[in-house]
Amino acid sequence: MEGTFSMKIRNPFESPGRWHKANLHTHTTTSDGNKPPSERAAQYREAGYAVLALTDHEATNDVTGLSSDGFLVLSGMETHPDCPGSDIPYHIVCLNVPHGTRCEGDVNARIRQVKDAGGEAFVAHPYWCGFDVNHLLPVEGAIGLEVFNATCCGCGKGFSSVHWDHLLGRGEILPALAVDDVHHPHDIFQGWTMIKAVDLTVEAIMEALRTGAYYSSCGPEILDARLVDGTVRVECSPASEIHFIAQGPFGRSVYTDDDGRRGQCSLIASAEFALSGEQKYVRVEIVDAWGRRAWTNPMMPGGNGS
């Protein structure tokens, strides 16, 4: 039986197109950010990003004129429906919604409204919200969740990989993004999503996001990752750890032969993992010598996904 999050994930390393560096969770002075939309867009354009989504709280921005050659700005918003059983509401990031969009009702009603308007939604920072898997299971139709959120690192809750694994282990198949959730200077350019798309257009970027054709990072570069003949192989920028993560204990970790001092080890740039047949999914997590991470989306030995 398919789960609440049931996606056919496309492996970006086996897909045509070019890589586009994106930040998909961004605040401006329209809500509680420190820069107006035009200045925020200029920051990311000058830093070499190709895609930026402006996602202010319960408000959209008119992004007319903010895109330029090689730089695409998406209209978005962040909406906050109640989460039953929690004092903190859901934080749902909505992409490609028309300016002036307003969302009402419970979480699933809001996601339907976004989809009806031509957009998509993903779940923001579940660890920061204090959620567990039971808070996430009722959500229907989201196309991903945040595995890394730079702003949430301010209280030590920037990583939500455990939440992701709990969903994947229960058959809830979804990809995950890394974002800045930028509000102020200290939380900018720290997490990004590398999207593989044939064109830098709204249509191509949204299609890539809908199919999970991307990987996420806050530092390392993933050069290739694929499942072939029962073996997962990965190539990456120099790393101190490469983790093949599956449900329960059925994964594998590869480490360098270092003496435990970060930055003082002989690094590795590839690894492989021969599956035993017990894995329901495998995702790869890279850790570099400074502790920065990158994440592939899940590969599905059973055929759903890459």
Reported as a single tens digit per residue, the pLDDT across 46-88 is 999 999 999 999 999 999 999 999 999 999 999 999 999 999 9
pLDDT, one tens digit per residue, over 255-297 is 986 554 454 568 999 999 999 999 999 999 999 999 999 999 9
Q: Do domains 12-216 and 222-295 have the same CATH topology?
A: no
Q: Taking the domain 222-295, which CATH number applies? A: 2.60.40
Q: Which helix (H) or strand (E) holds 133?
A: helix 133-136
In the chain, domain spans: 12-216, 222-295
Distance CA 78, CA 24 (A): 11
Give the single-character DSSP code of 89: P
**pLDDT score at 302:** 75
As a whole number, mean pLDDT of residues 105-129 equals: 98
Name the residue among 215, 187, 190, 202 with its Cα closest to residue 73: 202
Q: Which two tokens stand for residue 18?
A: 């070019």
CATH pick for 12-216 out of 3.30.420.10, 3.40.50.620, 3.40.710.10, 3.20.20.140:
3.20.20.140
